[in-house]
Amino acid sequence: MFVRNYSYSVVFFFLKMDENNNSSIVTNGNSSEATIIDDKASSVIKERPQSSVEQSLERGLANGATFTPSNPNRYSRSKTVGGVPSSKGKTHSRAFTVRIEQPVESVQIDTRSYLRDVGVIDETNATWEWSRSVQSFGCSNENCTSKSQGKQAKYESICFEVPKRFCSTKCLKECWTKMKEQQTFRKNSTNLQNKDEVYNALNGEPGYMKDQTSDTEWEVVAYTKDHTPTNEDVDHLLKVNIMSNTGATASRISKMVLPFPEMPPPRQVIYAQAQHHVTNDRVRVVTYNLLAAIYATQTMFPYCPMWALSWNFRKDMILRELMGYDADVLCMQEVQADHFENFLYPQLNQLGYEGLYKQKTREAFGPAGRVDGCATFYKRSKFQLRVNNVIEFNEAALKMAKENRFTGDVPLEGANDTSVKRLLRDNVAQICVLEMLGSYNVPVQICISNVHIYWDPQYADVKLWQAHILIKELQNFITSNDIPLILMGDFNSSPDSSVYNLLAHASVSRLHEDVQKDTLGILPPMGKLTHNLALQSVCC
Ligand SMILES: [Zn+2]
């Protein structure tokens, strides 16, 4: 985050949180409806009307469906219990697909259901019924290492008066001595005097173990699509029965419900200055990369269980953390359009915030569906929105290509085409002006900018170009309006990068390796890689 000094005193806190420095970009084309209002030929700043929240919500609704009916094959590979009888009497097990994520205590279960010829199945076109297994499937071995992975204890040792369940013979063996001390053998079972019998019992041979999955009993617990497991559900299985309005039915059994995990240790937070009590003339700002669910994949985070990556699991904790910071201005990156619309905006709005959203451009590639962007929230009790502008870096690149301006220091034959392709990364930035509420002699305004710079370390030239475009636009905007600036974001850059040097020191060395990587000549002449904003980095 960078702060531009100004004549009146405002003390800032800095809290830089980054859940994800290394995400991939999977997006698809969707150009913004905003219009260019700046008459400068080079400008890529766009104004968005004040009612942008409503528009964002509408656009989010259009783009942010949690499931895309036009691509049903996406789920057709998942196994389905039950099926739909066709007119010929055959069962089409793939016609009605149901997918249930790993259930976790207190986390709403993510269920996706799709019926051929109908589309997405939800509460509007089907009745839902959730049941819980009467039996618990937790392993009786307290030291079981598979517990956190949700491994079911499918087998029941029936050697003793009180049967116990285990996930493996290893767990049974570990508990055998203790069970023997505390329990008596079943009367009508063997007395296990024989060595072979003990061996068989300990190795789960038939007669000593019962497959518990074959006779699971169920009790109904809910009739809604969205079900949130309770503490009572932990170690039990859940089953969902769905009956669509067309009469088709499907049923699916979940994995064992996991207990809510222990909270992670507190984050190490870097404070730019000593903590001050936030008063009316101070402003607390926070920037936070949420890690969009579209990037929170098992491929990207193979060490993390899927349930912990799910948005349903993370969203409440993210909100709780954000609430704890009590920021006056909250800049977020990697905010999915549907998450802004369905969760962040309504939740933060209730807490007294107004929110502005700018979705990534999505011109490069990727399937239609969910896309992320930047969101800026501010406290309604503290500010009034005066200006709401956005930058689409794609547009700047296309404009420069059209004007044949990719000359740089190393002009190449036919460089324009390649240059513009390299620059089309869909990144966006927000620039808004907030006016502090209260009685001041003159209006007290702050410019807030929120940016997400391209992530890929192989594209240092693109990062620098994006920073250059942003700072040039901010300079035009700030100097003509004469207001202080707080620039926040995920810059995907370290303090030795050219991006940092440009922003913090207003210059980049010709010899910097990022500049040397600009073989396509996308960067401007070195003399133009500067600005007059006197930005001060808050964290280093
Ligand atoms: Zn076990």
d(CA 59, CA 62): 5
What is the Å distance from ligand 1's center to 167 Cα? 4
Supply the pTM of this predicted model. Answer: 0.70
What is the Å distance from ligand 1's center to 171 Cα? 5
Residue 417 has a pLDDT of 65
What is the Å distance from ligand 1's center to 138 Cα? 8
What is the Å distance from ligand 1's center to 19 Cα? 33
What is the Å distance from ligand 1's center to 236 Cα? 15
What is the Å distance from ligand 1's center to 154 Cα? 10
Q: Rounded to whole angstroms, what are the CA distances from 335 to 98, 124, 215, 331?
A: 27, 28, 45, 10
What is the Å distance from ligand 1's center to 414 Cα? 64
d(CA 471, CA 454): 15
What is the Å distance from ligand 1's center to 314 Cα? 27
What is the Å distance from ligand 1's center to 155 Cα? 10
What is the Å distance from ligand 1's center to 258 Cα? 14
Q: How many residues does the chain have?
A: 540
What is the Å distance from ligand 1's center to 163 Cα? 15
What is the Å distance from ligand 1's center to 174 Cα? 9
What is the Å distance from ligand 1's center to 146 Cα? 6
Three-state helix/strand/coil letters over 71-126: CCHHHHCCCCECCEECCCCCEECCCEEEEECCCECCECCCEEEEECCCEECCCCCE
Give yes or no on whether 2-23+273-537 and 82-133+217-253 have one common fold: no
Residue 21 has a pLDDT of 33
d(CA 131, CA 505): 62
Q: Rounded to whole angstroms, what are the CA distances from 314 to 27, 361, 450?
A: 22, 25, 22
Residue 30 has a pLDDT of 27
What is the Å distance from ligand 1's center to 254 Cα? 19
* CB within 8 Å of 63: residues ≥ 6 apart: 30, 337, 338, 359, 368, 369, 370, 371
- Domain borders along the chain are 2-23+273-537, 82-133+217-253, 147-213
Q: Could you say which of 1.10.10, 1.20.272, 2.60.40, 1.10.3470 is the CATH number of the domain covering 82-133+217-253?
A: 2.60.40
Residue 276 has a pLDDT of 55
What is the Å distance from ligand 1's center to 172 Cα? 8
What is the Å distance from ligand 1's center to 179 Cα? 15
Residue 210 has a pLDDT of 75
User: Which pair of tokens denotes residue 527?
Assistant: 């003399």
Decide if 156 contacts 164 (C-beta within 8 A).
Answer: yes
Decide if 164 contacts 208 (C-beta within 8 A).
Answer: no
Domain topology for 2-23+273-537: Deoxyribonuclease I; Chain A (3.60.10)
What is the Å distance from ligand 1's center to 221 Cα? 27
What is the Å distance from ligand 1's center to 192 Cα? 23
Residue 59 has a pLDDT of 41
Low-confidence ranges of the chain (pLDDT < 50): 5-44, 47-92, 365-369, 409-412
What is the Å distance from ligand 1's center to 142 Cα? 8
What is the Å distance from ligand 1's center to 165 Cα? 9
Residue 73 has a pLDDT of 29
What is the Å distance from ligand 1's center to 156 Cα? 12
What is the Å distance from ligand 1's center to 152 Cα? 8
What is the Å distance from ligand 1's center to 189 Cα? 24
Q: What is the DSSP secondary structure assignment for residue 32, as one 8-state letter?
A: -
